Amino acid sequence: MIKTYFFKHSEDTMYHDVDLSSLDLLLADQKNLLWIDLYDCSVQELTYIGKVFDFHPLALEDCLQESPRAKVDHYEDYSFFVFHAMKYNEEAEDDEITSIELDVFLGPNYVVTIHPTALYAVGEVARVCLKKPEMMNRGPDYLLYNLVDKLVDDYFPIVERLGERIDELEDEMYVHPAQEITEEVMALKRSIILLRKVVIPQRRILANVNNRYSFSVSDENRPYYYDLVEHLDRIIDASDAYRDLVNGSINTYYSVVSSRTNEILMVLTVISTIMMPLTFITGLYGMNVHIPGQDNPSYFWYLALGCLTLIVTMLATFRRKKWI
């Protein structure tokens, strides 16, 4: 499906579903801005847009294939970007976080976005553009900022939920079986890895150490990109902290399990140690030979009292030495 949004600067008016056959006329004024959005599009539709704008075949090939990392490629009069939205499904059997690719062609006064399914972030920007043409009046780099900013805004609920799950994990590790805790830890680790895999390359595209951009951004729009990079930094910092917390939680859990195991072994060792002399005594007096004093009617009670005295003495000794 192809949707078009055209801002005509001379009239300060937005138009929807314009005719692309008059593309040269639409883009004749450098202050105009054309945004073409393709989602769930066919190869024929993508090929048509590629011919209209004379996009490079390699860029079109990237649109047809899923790219695992964000990137930017520069061509003669436009730049090609790959960004990723994220979808979170905590009940998923495999990966809880899945990425949805958003391909963007950024030209002097046009933007082309391509994505396999409808994206909430793109739809929200389109609705705002139709109601407030001001978003289209600040150049294609400002429109690109708004698209990426909406994608990043959708990351924050995912980050917050991961933080909540880590807090829940720290509480549950004392009551849940080892298998459930291990499965939860592995799921969180996979989610955090994918989050970082999506966010870190996107930050590298939008800014580098000397705050110079790898694509053209007007001076008035640069503060917005600074803010966007700051948001990505917050997400990266949170993912670093979550990764450390998950690793620390699993180490703590194994320490708790080991401590419980040691306590159980200590109790079993005490029981075994106490039973050893009792087993020897009962075995000795159970032999088929004559034992002195066994004809005494109080023989059993003397033997029982001796065993009880032995148990009390051993427990007192263990307690005094702080073994138990």
pLDDT value at residue 209: 37
Whether 22 and 46 map to the same domain: the answer is yes
What is the domain extent for residue 166?
A: 2-256
Whether 222 and 288 map to the same domain: the answer is no
pLDDT value at residue 210: 40
Count of C-beta atoms within a 10 Å radius of residue 234: 15
**Could you state, in chain order, the average pLDDT of each consecutive group of 10 residues for the chain (324 residues)?**
87 85 85 91 90 92 88 89 90 83 93 92 90 86 92 93 88 70 85 91 73 69 87 93 86 77 80 81 70 71 82 82 72
Whether 241 and 271 map to the same domain: the answer is no
CATH code of 54's domain:
3.30.460.20
The model carries a pTM of: 0.78
Whether 216 and 87 map to the same domain: the answer is yes
Whether 180 and 281 map to the same domain: the answer is no
Q: 56 CB contacts (<8 Å, ≥6 apart)?
A: 75, 80
For residue 232, the surrounding DSSP H or E stretch is helix 222-285
Does residue 146 lie within any of the structural domains? yes
Whether 112 and 142 map to the same domain: the answer is yes
Whether 196 and 300 map to the same domain: the answer is no
pLDDT value at residue 263: 78
Whether 208 and 157 map to the same domain: the answer is yes
CATH code of 271's domain:
1.20.58
> Which residue among 237, 256, 275 closes a domain?
256
pLDDT value at residue 288: 66
pLDDT value at residue 280: 76
> Which residue among 224, 256, 288 closes a domain?
256
Identify which of 225, 223, 227 has the alpha carbon closest to the alpha carbon of residue 214: 225
Using a 10 angstrom Cβ sphere, with 0-12 exposed, 13-18 middle and 19 or more buried, the burial of residue 48 is: middle
Q: Rounded distance, CA 324 to CA 317, Å?
A: 10
Q: Is 53 helix (H, G, I), strand (E, B) or coil?
A: helix
Helix axes 222-285, 178-206, angle to 10 degrees: 160
Using CA atoms, how far residue 253 sits from 168, 181, 210, in Å, is 13, 8, 43
Does residue 261 lie within any of the structural domains? no
> Which residue among 213, 231, 256 closes a domain?
256
Whether 119 and 148 map to the same domain: the answer is yes
pLDDT value at residue 293: 66
pLDDT value at residue 176: 64
Using a 10 angstrom Cβ sphere, with 0-12 exposed, 13-18 middle and 19 or more buried, the burial of residue 117 is: exposed
Whether 217 and 281 map to the same domain: the answer is no
Using CA atoms, how far residue 155 sits from 195, 234, 323, 324, in Å, is 9, 11, 53, 51
Whether 66 and 188 map to the same domain: the answer is yes
pLDDT value at residue 206: 83
Q: Rounded distance, CA 112 to CA 7, Å?
A: 14
Say how many domains are in the chain: 2
